[in-house]
């Protein structure tokens, strides 16, 4: 059976790190086993809390806006069309220079209990 979800139909919620996301496909809304896909947004000058995931490898794909991505002390400005790899165990934070919208892919699937702070 084919599983299709429309982004506009997914309710937004705030993650443990402070970003607002809409889960596109994850364990809560589909028979997903090994990954998750969500859209995340931060308003201009917003930022996530610096954190890491013990299990999940993440990829952020920037759709709109500009921000500064920090991973384990290395920072770089990022923008539309760029993808960022966040390895498991890497401390990371994204700060929005303008309103920013990005896709967040996690494998295994995102879980609040796999988010750790300083």
Q: Spell out the domain ranges in the chain.
A: 13-111
Contact by Cβ (8 Å): 39, 101:
yes
What pLDDT, in 10s, does the model give residues 46-55?
Answer: 999 999 999 9
List the helix and strand counts (H, then E) for the chain: 0, 11
pLDDT at 19 over 90: no
Whose tokens are 């589909």? That residue is 30
User: If residue 62 lies in a helix (H) or strand (E), which one and from where to where?
Assistant: strand 57-64
* pTM beyond 0.75, yes or no: yes
Over residues 103-117, the mean pLDDT reads: 92
39-97 pLDDT, tens digit each: 999 999 999 999 999 999 999 999 999 999 999 999 999 999 999 999 999 999 999 99
Could you tell me which residue, 89 or 17, shows the higher pLDDT? 89
- CB contact at 8 A, 3 and 30: yes
Answer yes or no: CATH 3.30.230.10 is held by domain 13-111: no
In a 3-state reduction of DSSP, which class is residue 70? strand
């Amino acid at each position: 059976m084919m599983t299709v979800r429309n982004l506009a139909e997914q309710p937004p919620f705030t993650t443990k790190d402070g970003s607002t996301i809409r889960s596109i496909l994850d364990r809560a809304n589909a028979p997903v086993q090994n990954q998750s896909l969500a859209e995340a947004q931060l308003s201009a000058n917003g930022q996530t809390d610096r954190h890491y995931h013990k299990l999940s490898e993440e990829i952020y794909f920037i759709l709109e806006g500009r921000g500064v991505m920090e991973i384990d002390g290395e920072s770089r400005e990022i923008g539309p069309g760029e993808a960022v790899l966040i390895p498991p165990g890497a401390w990371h934070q994204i700060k929005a220079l303008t309103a920013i919208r990005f896709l967040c892919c996690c494998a295994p699937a995102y879980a609040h209990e796999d988010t750790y702070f300083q």
